[in-house]
C-alpha cells in the first residue's frame, strides 16, 4: 500500500479510536475495566483506541453496550466498515473480473453532476476509443491475471460514455502531456485515440486541459491519477490499489490539487497543438 493510502486509512482508524476512547471515558470506565467486562486482554482496548487494530462488528457492539450507547452501534459499525473499504488493492477489486469493476461505478457516475478528472497515466476512460480501452484493459488483465472478460469490460466502458451526452453533467479533464506521448497498443491505436481527443474536446460539457511538458511547476506538481465526484468523493488510482476518499477535508485537498494543475494547463487551440504534435510524432 502506498504512503498516501496508508495515511488516509490510518487517520480514519485513529479518528475512530479516539471516538471509542471518548465513549469509554464518558461512561466512567478505565480501559482495564472495559476489557475485563468484555472478556478481552487489556491490550486490545489500547490497540483499538490507537487505531492499530480495526474493530469487528462484534467488538463495536460490545464496546457500545458496555458504555451504554447502544444507539450509536449502527453508526460506529458503518464508520468502521467504511474504513475497511477505503483502500482496496486491485487484485481484490478485480477478482470478479474487469466487467464487474466497470459496472460497479455506474451508480456513482449517474448521481454525479460535476466531474473533475486528472490523469497522469492514461487517457480518461470517458474519452477512450474502444481499441485504446481494449489495449489498456488487456494489459491489466495480463499483468494481474484477471479473469478474461475484458472484451465485456470494454463494451461496458464504451457504453458508459453516453453520460457525455446527458446534458446534465459537466466534465473537466486534465492530462499530463506525456500521456499523449505514451504509446498504448500501437501507433495506429494511439493516432485514432488522439484524433478522438480533439473531437471529444469540442463537446459542450467537456473541458479538456493539457499540462505541457517543461512547464514550470509551482504547486501544480504531478500526482496520482484521481477523479472528483462533485465535492462528495475522490477516487484515487494507486499502483497497487484503489483509494476512496470521502472525508470533506481530504476531498478538498484533491479539489485544491485539481485547481492548481488546471492553472498551468493549456486549453483550446494550444491544447490541440500539443495533441497534433503527439500525432505527428507517431508518423
Tell me the three state secondary structure of residue 257: helix
| Dihedral pair phi/psi, residue 173, rounded to 5° | -125, 135
Which residue segments constitute the domains of the chain, with CATH numbers given? 3-85 (1.10.260.40), 88-281 (3.30.870.10)
- Give the pLDDT confidence score for residue 245 in this predicted structure: 79
- d(Cα 217, Cα 276) in Å, to the nearest integer? 24
Q: What is the mean pLDDT of each run of 10 residues along the chain (283 residues)?
A: 52 86 95 94 92 89 95 83 61 49 64 94 93 84 64 76 88 97 95 96 96 85 88 77 74 91 96 97 91
Burial call 105-117: b when 16+ CB within 10 Å, e when fewer: beeeeeebeebbb
Measuring CA to CA, how many Å separate 77 from each of 6, 70, 73, 84?
21, 11, 6, 11
pTM over 0.75: no
- Give the pLDDT confidence score for residue 54 in this predicted structure: 85
- Give the pLDDT confidence score for residue 41 in this predicted structure: 92
CB 166 within 8 A of CB 206: no
Measuring CA to CA, how many Å separate 130 from each of 107, 135, 151, 193?
22, 9, 10, 9
- Give the pLDDT confidence score for residue 150 in this predicted structure: 66
- Give the pLDDT confidence score for residue 161 in this predicted structure: 84
Amino acid at each position: 500500500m502506498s504512503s498516501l493510502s496508508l495515511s488516509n486509512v490510518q487517520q480514519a482508524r485513529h479518528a475512530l479510536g479516539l471516538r471509542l476512547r471518548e465513549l469509554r471515558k464518558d461512561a466512567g470506565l478505565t480501559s482495564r475495566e472495559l476489557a475485563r467486562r468484555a472478556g478481552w486482554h487489556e491490550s486490545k482496548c489500547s490497540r483499538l483506541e490507537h487505531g492499530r487494530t480495526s474493530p469487528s462488528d462484534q467488538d463495536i457492539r460490545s464496546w457500545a453496550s458496555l458504555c451504554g450507547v447502544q444507539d450509536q452501534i449502527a453508526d460506529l459499525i458503518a464508520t468502521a466498515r467504511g474504513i475497511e473499504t477505503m483502500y482496496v488493492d486491485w487484485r481484490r477489486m478485480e477478482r470478479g473480473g474487469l466487467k464487474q469493476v466497470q459496472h460497479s461505478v455506474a451508480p456513482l457516475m449517474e448521481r454525479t453532476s460535476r466531474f473533475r478528472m486528472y490523469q497522469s497515466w492514461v487517457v480518461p476512460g470517458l474519452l477512450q476509443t474502444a481499441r485504446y480501452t481494449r489495449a489498456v484493459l488487456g494489459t491489466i488483465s495480463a499483468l494481474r491475471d484477471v479473469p478474461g472478460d475484458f472484451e465485456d469490460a470494454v463494451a461496458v466502458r464504451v457504453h458508459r460514455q453516453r453520460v457525455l451526452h446527458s446534458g446534465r453533467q459537466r466534465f473537466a479533464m486534465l492530462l499530463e502531456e506525456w500521456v499523449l506521448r505514451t504509446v498504448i497498443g500501437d501507433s495506429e491505436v494511439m493516432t485514432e485515440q488522439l484524433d478522438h481527443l480533439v473531437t471529444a474536446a469540442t463537446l459542450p460539457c467537456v473541458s479538456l486541459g493539457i499540462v505541457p511538458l517543461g512547464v514550470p511547476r509551482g504547486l501544480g506538481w504531478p500526482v496520482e491519477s484521481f477523479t472528483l465526484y462533485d465535492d462528495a468523493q475522490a477516487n484515487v488510482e494507486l499502483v497497487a490499489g484503489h483509494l476512496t476518499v470521502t472525508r470533506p477535508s481530504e476531498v478538498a485537498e484533491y479539489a485544491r490539487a485539481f485547481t492548481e494543475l488546471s492553472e498551468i494547463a493549456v486549453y483550446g487551440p494550444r491544447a490541440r497543438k500539443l495533441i497534433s504534435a503527439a500525432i505527428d510524432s507517431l508518423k
